[in-house]
Amino acid sequence: NAGVTQTPKFQVLKTGQSMTLQCAQDMNHNSMYWYRQDPGMGLRLIYYSASEGTTDKGEVPNGYNVSRLNKREFSLRLESAAPSQTSVYFCASSELSFGDRELFFGEGSRLTVL
Amino acid sequence: DAKTTQPNSMESNEEEPVHLPCNHSTISGTDYIHWYRQLPSQGPEYVIHGLTSNVNNRMASLAIAEDRKSSTLILHRATLRDAAVYYCILKEGFQKLVFGTGTRLLVSP
């Protein structure tokens, strides 16, 4: 099983460029999440989607937009990339967003903004 | 957001048990205690979770204090592959996981 698949795995952008990180899960999960992880730090939630058709802001949503395209796919868009957005981005999914449901994470997308 | 406190790092020898502590004094009655780990250059991986009672699975055991203000993740026999950052997280009911900085576990042969 593929689980949670993120593309691309690596990307280098120039300041001001835009790009979209793609995430897909094949576990029929309802909830999906985007996190970022800066060097030496824990993960911080950017946006999440509790169910298809809904999205909500997390801790650090500024500079990002998301789209829950369908139940399988949840994309993260940087409209005008800034060096502060250099980070590793992780997508995750869970059956539901209740307290007793585990999250499954992708392998990450490493983004560098010059 | 309810907070957790973990030591920055811990060391263990291979094949010895490891007890990773976590304090969460502001935990609410509906918060689940989750543990994840992150191996180098990988995404976090679920380890175990519980609410009130101690829990066991194939990876680890979770011991929860009676007042729920602290918990301990127990790896019964550490291996080199267990070297990772371990995150103790409170899952806030219908909401998302909020990660702290975790405990870096070093395992020596």
Q: What is the pLDDT of residues A1-25, one digit of tens each?
A: 679 999 999 999 999 999 999 999 9
B32: chain A residues, CB-CB within 8 Å: 99-100
3-state secondary structure of A76: strand
- Are B31 and A42 in contact (CB < 8 Å)? no
Per the CB < 8 Å rule, is A99 touching B92?
A: yes
Residue B75, pLDDT > 80, answer yes
Candidate from A4, A43, A99 with C-beta closest to B91: A99
Residues 23-52 of A with CB under 8 A from B: 33, 35, 40-45, 48, 50
What pLDDT was estimated at residue A40? Answer: 78
Tens digit of each residue's pLDDT (9 = 90 or more) over A72-87: 999 999 999 999 999 9
Q: Report pLDDT for A21.
A: 98
Residue B5 has pLDDT above 70, yes or no: yes
Residues of B in contact with A99 (CB under 8 A): 30-32, 51, 91-94
Number of residues assigned to chain A: 114
- Which of residues 62 through 91 in chain B touch A, CB cutoff 8 A? 87, 91
Determine the pLDDT at residue B99. Answer: 78
pLDDT at residue A99, as a whole number: 65
Please report, for chain A, how many H helices and E strands are present, in that order: 0, 11
Specify whether the CB–CB gap between A86 and A112 falls below 8 A: yes
Reported as a pLDDT band with limits 50, 70 and 90, residue A102 is: confident
* Cβ neighbour number for residue B87 with a 10 Å cutoff: 26
Lookup result for tokens 């194939």? B58
Partnered with residue B90 across adjacent β-strands are B33
Q: Does any CB of chain A come closer than 8 Å to the CB of residue B53?
A: no
pLDDT of residue B2: 58
